[in-house]
Amino acid sequence: MEPALDEPLFFELTRPQPLLIVLSGPSGVGKDTVLQALKKRNLPLHFVVTATDRPPRPGEVDGVDYIFVSREEFERMIAADEMLEYAVVYGDYKGVPKAQIRQALASGKDVILRVDVQGAARLRALCPEAVLIFLAPANVREWYQRLINRHSETPETLQRRIEAVRRELTYLDMFDYVVVNRQDHLEQAVDQIVAIIQVEHLRVHPRRITL
Ligand SMILES: Nc1ncnc2c1ncn2[C@@H]1O[C@H](COP(=O)(O)OP(=O)(O)OP(=O)(O)O)[C@@H](O)[C@H]1O
Ligand SMILES: Nc1nc2c(ncn2[C@@H]2O[C@H](COP(=O)(O)O)[C@@H](O)[C@H]2O)c(=O)[nH]1
C-alpha cells in the first residue's frame, strides 16, 4: 500500500488544544499594560473582557476595558451561574463571564485573561489545566512608583493594595511561570509571554481545558 506521505503522524499536531492563560500578580505591576502590548502582536488570542460593578475610570470603555454593570446586574449574573470566577476585589465585584471563555475555546483560540491573585487561585482550583503566569515587578521601588504614577488610587486604596502584596506572594508556588515586568522593558515581558504560549503548544501531553 502507498504510504500516505502527507498524513500527520499525530492528530494533536494538526489540531492544537487551545490554552486558558491566566495573567496575575500584584495590583499595578502592569497586567493590563502587558495585555495591551500583547494585543498589538495580532496573535490568534481571545482577550477576555471581565465584568465589574465599579464605575468606569476616565478613558475606560464599556466592552473593552470591562463589561460595566450595576451591582444588581452583577448579582443576577452570579445567581444565574454566568460567572466562571468572581470575587470582591478592593470593594468591587469582578468576574469572568463563562460564556465568553467557552465560545472562544470552542473556536480553537487560546484565551487569555487577567485577574487578581485570589482569582488566579480560584481558577487554578476550577481549571487545573490553566496556564498561570505571575507577573512580578523587578523590585519594590519600581512597583510602588508605578502605583503612584498611575494616579488611580487614594491614599487608602493605595495602602490596601500595598498590604495585599505580601499575602499575594505566598501564592507564588501555585503558578507555572513568573515573568518580570521591568521598568521600561515592557516588550521583553511580552516576548516572554509569547514564548510561554509557544512552548505550551509544544507539549507532548497538551493541557486539556474542561469548564
Ligand atoms: N514595564 C513598564 N515600565 C514602565 N511602566 C509600566 C510598565 N508596565 C506598566 N507600567 C505602568 O504601570 C502602571 C500600572 O500598570 P497597569 O494598570 O497595567 O497594572 P495592573 O497590574 O493592570 O494594575 P491593577 O491590578 O491595579 O489593575 C501604569 O501606569 C503603566 O503605564
Ligand atoms: N478575581 C478577579 N479579579 C479581576 C477580574 N477582573 C479584573 N480583576 C482584577 O481586579 C483588580 C482591580 O482592578 P481595577 O481595574 O479595579 O484596578 C486587578 O488586579 C484586576 O486584575 C476578575 O474577573 N476576577
The reply to whether 29 sits in an annotated binding site is: yes
Percent of the chain with pLDDT over 70: 95
Residues in CB range of 25: below 8 A, 6 or more apart? 31, 117, 134, 135, 136, 168, 181
Percent of the chain with pLDDT over 90: 74
Q: What's 145's DSSP letter?
A: H
pLDDT greater than 60 at residue 129: yes
pTM score, two decimals?
Answer: 0.94
**Among the atoms of ligand 1, which is closest to the Cα of residue 184?**
3
Amino acid at 43: L
How many angstroms does the Cα of residue 143 sit away from the middle of ligand 1? 9
pLDDT of residue 6: 75
CA 178 to the chain's CA centroid: 13
Taking CA atoms, 59 is separated from 10, 64, 86, 107, 194, in Å, by 47, 11, 24, 31, 28
Cα of 78 vs centre of ligand 1, distance in Å, is 29
At 12 the pLDDT is 54
- Residue 46 scores a pLDDT above 60: yes
Q: Is the CB of 165 under 6 A from ligand 2?
A: no
Residue 25 assigned ligand-binding role: yes
> Which three cell numbers, joined as nine digits, stand for 209?
481545558
> What's the whole-number mean pLDDT along residues 105-123?
96
Residue 134 has pLDDT above 60, yes or no: yes
Instruction: Please tell me whether 176 is known to bind a ligand.
Output: no
pLDDT for residue 207:
94
Q: What is the model's pLDDT at position 161?
A: 83
**pLDDT in the model for residue 142:** 93
The stretch 59-72 carries a mean pLDDT of 97
Q: Which atom of ligand 1 is nearest to the CA of 186?
A: 1
Q: Which residues contact 15 (CB under 8 A, 6 or more apart)?
A: 108
Q: Is the CA virtual torsion 13, 188, 171, 94 positive or negative? A: negative
Q: How confident is the model at residue 124 (pLDDT cuts 50, 70, 90)?
A: very high
pLDDT digits (tens, 9 = 90+) for 17-37: 999 999 999 999 999 999 999
